[in-house]
Amino acid sequence: MALNIADLFEHAADAVPGRLAIACGDAEVTYRELDARSTQLAHFLAGRGVTEGDHVGVYGRNSIELIAAFLACYKLRAIAVNINYRYVEAELRYLFTEAELAALVHDRQFSTRVAGLLPEYPGIRAVLAIDDASGTPLAESTDFGAALAGQPAGRDFGERSADDIYMLYTGGTTGYPKGVLWRHEDIWRTLGGGIDFATGERMPDEWEQSRRAAAAPAGLVRLCAAPLIHGNAQWGAMAALFSGDTVVFVPQFSADEVWRTVQRRRVNIMIIIGDAMARPLIEAYREKQYDVSSVLAISSSAALFSPSVKNEYLTLLPGIVVTDAIGASETGFTGLGYVSAGNKRPEGPTVTPGPATIVIDEHNRPLGPGGIGRLARGGNIPLGYYKDPVKTAALFAEVDGERYAVPGDLARVEEDGSLTLLGRGNTCVNTGGEKVYPEEVEGALKSHADVFDALVIGVPDDLLGQRVAALVQPRDGQAVDLAALDKHLRTLIAGYKVPRSVWLVAQIGRTPAGKADYGWARSYAEAQMAGSDLQSA
């Protein structure tokens, strides 16, 4: 079986060629058209010497062309490299060097920045610019549309393999990004629909998703709110494309634009990233009450989705189901929780574990109910990190003779076998011998009526070793009473978890994908403490 990303997409394109595949802003493309564009781009790249195993940088905001670039790479058995469009020159230089790019597809607005770097990278054999209406001069780049003109649309690329490589550059919450390497089959089995997330049942073959698509009169409409530089959006899109569904994007995240798009495109499933997207979305909906009668579910992953925010959705949108998936770039899907109005109280993030997902102690032994340890996934797991054997070795653990990926997330096993994610071990605060998990405290902070967003970190303390500290972003037009906030928190969490230091900030620092930027938080706290500008709750 060719359990390969390109093959899986092509099966769907053959099954439902006239169905709408992608809509982004006013632009849209059918499966037949998307397949033709990505095939033509693959031929162009091949003509410039790009071949199996080469790395192609994909650097831009959401667009049909960006999706076509990813697919073109997989058709050639090349490897797409996601590049954060917010990177400045030093970060781009790091990634261009680290990833050893052979080609680059970028938005036209980044042409000047790209042109300044290209002389340092003679190995980049093709550079294409997507017309984004920015008007920026093309410099050394070839226009994307012109590159496709005249290229054949025939799929004469040769046989592909389930062992072809997919790579996702992930920065996590700290440090420079690192490339996580997966076999195509393994990433499909964890994120692309190769298993049923609810039951763990495996797809029988490479044709099942496209067979189901052909048998259905229409597919679901799925909106991916995140940027395609993030695995959440990439695999929200890929899983939909393998299944003959329609994928909807907004070029750039805006809460009101997302709701307008939901209304216009009659979206069924909204795919978001935690509170960073969920909160501004529900605030915008409360103000304008868009028509969301088509929406069946809102699915979050990759970042904290607070119980208080889930409650807002269930109150204002009682007809929807809210799902909360946990996982990591190094594990894929590891668990799923869901809640609907009147069904059960939102928790979080507490999930039913996915296939081969366990919690282990420091000696790599599985833990039972009540145990707190490291989340681990076996079965279909990645190969490791690109060019980093040390981090690769540290990623894996042997449990009862089997290999598991253990990226560093901590979790608690509940009495019913469900798992509660506690956050990354490197963000855990040890205060006076007690362990405090930032995401729990952040959820409590964000349940206060005057708090819009928050990050929790540990800062040095002469007596306790570390004390819990919080950076808090008030809601627009609101003033946070720190004494009232402290009192509110003590009704929700134990006293030792309540932040002893609080800074009010204009905006919480987050990555483009909405993940908590703990590096920013620590730098901010250090600067404030150095200046003795400390607000204490």
What CATH number corresponds to the domain at position 357? 2.30.38.10
Q: Is 40 exposed, middle or buried (0-12, 13-18, 19+ CB in 10 A)?
A: buried
Encode pLDDT of 447-484 as tens digits.
Answer: 999 999 999 999 998 888 899 999 999 999 999 999 99
* Nearest CA among 31, 1, 29 for reference residue 15: 31
**Quick one: 500 and 436 in the same domain?**
yes
How sure is the predictor about 386, in pLDDT bands with cuts at 50, 70 and 90? very high
- Whether residues 369 and 443 share a domain: the answer is no
Let me know whether 453 and 402 are in one domain. Answer: no
Q: Give the distance from CA 283 to its chain's centroid.
A: 22
Name the one residue in this structure whose structure tokens are 């894996």.
396
Q: Are residues 25 and 128 located together in one domain of the fold? A: yes
As given in the structure block, the two tokens for residue 427 are 């963000």
Show which of 198, 230, 251 is a domain's final residue: 198
The encoded tokens of residue 28 equal 């849209």
Within this chain, do residues 61 and 31 fall inside the same structural domain, yes or no? yes
Q: What is the CATH number of the domain that holds 481?
A: 3.30.300.30
Residue 172 counted as domain residue: yes
Question: Is residue 536 included in any domain, yes or no?
Answer: no
Query: Residue 222 domain-assigned?
Result: no
Share of the chain above pLDDT 70, in %: 96
Residue 533 has pLDDT above 60, yes or no: no
397 and 447, same domain (yes or no): no
Q: For helices 482-489 and 438-446, what crossing angle results, to 10°?
A: 120
Tell whether 21 is covered by a domain.
Answer: yes
- Where does residue 404 rank: exposed (0-12), middle (13-18), buried (19+ CB within 10 A)? buried
d(CA 248, CA 29): 11
Question: Hey, is 501 helix, strand or coil?
Answer: strand
> What digits encode the pLDDT tens for the residues 70-95?
999 999 999 999 999 988 888 899 99
Based on the fold, state whether residues 12 and 115 are members of the same structural domain.
yes
Residue with the bigger pLDDT between 421 and 514: it is 421
Which pLDDT does position 147 carry in this prediction?
95
Dihedral in degrees, nearest 10, Cα atoms 508, 493, 174, 535: 50
Q: Name the domain boundary from 161, 182, 198.
A: 198
Q: How many domains are contained in the chain?
A: 3
State residue 344's pLDDT score: 67
Considering 172, 198, 224, which residue would you say is the last residue of a domain? Answer: 198
Q: Which domain holds residue 21?
A: 5-198
How far is the C-alpha of 260 from the C-alpha of 496, rounded, in Å?
44
CA distance 21 to 172: 30
Q: Quick one: pLDDT band at residue 139, thresholds 50, 70, 90?
A: confident
Considering the domain boundaries, does residue 344 fall inside one?
Answer: no
The secondary structure of 331-390 as a DSSP string is TEEEEEEEEETTT----SSEEEE-TTEEEE-TTS-B--TT-EEEEEE-SS---EETT-HH
| Cβ 190 vs Cβ 198: under 8 Å | no
pTM: 0.89
In a domain, 263, yes or no: no
Give me the pLDDT at residue 537, please.
42
Helix axes 5-15, 64-76, angle to 10 degrees: 120
Same domain, 127 and 82: yes
Tell me the backbone φ, ψ of residue 500, rounded to 5 degrees: -90, -15
Q: What is the predicted pLDDT for the residue at 488? A: 96
For residue 124, tell me if it sits in a domain. Answer: yes
189 and 59 share one domain: yes
pLDDT in tens, 200-224: 889 999 999 999 999 999 999 999 9
Q: What is the CATH number of the domain that holds 104?
A: 3.40.50.12780
* pLDDT tens, position by position, 290-310: 999 999 999 999 888 888 899
Query: What's residue 424's pLDDT?
Result: 81
Say which range, 123-127, 135-139, 183-187, has the weakest mean pLDDT: 135-139
pLDDT at 535: 54
Question: Is 216 inside any structural domain?
Answer: no
- Do 411 and 433 fall into the same domain? no
Q: Are residues 514 and 439 in the same domain?
A: yes
Mean per-residue pLDDT, 380-402:
96
In the prediction, which pLDDT does 268 show?
A: 98
Examine the domain organization and report whether 518 and 370 are in the same domain.
Answer: no
pLDDT at 317 over 90: yes
Q: Given pLDDT bands bounded at 50, 70 and 90, which one contains residue 444?
A: very high
Give me the amino acid identity at 315.
Answer: T
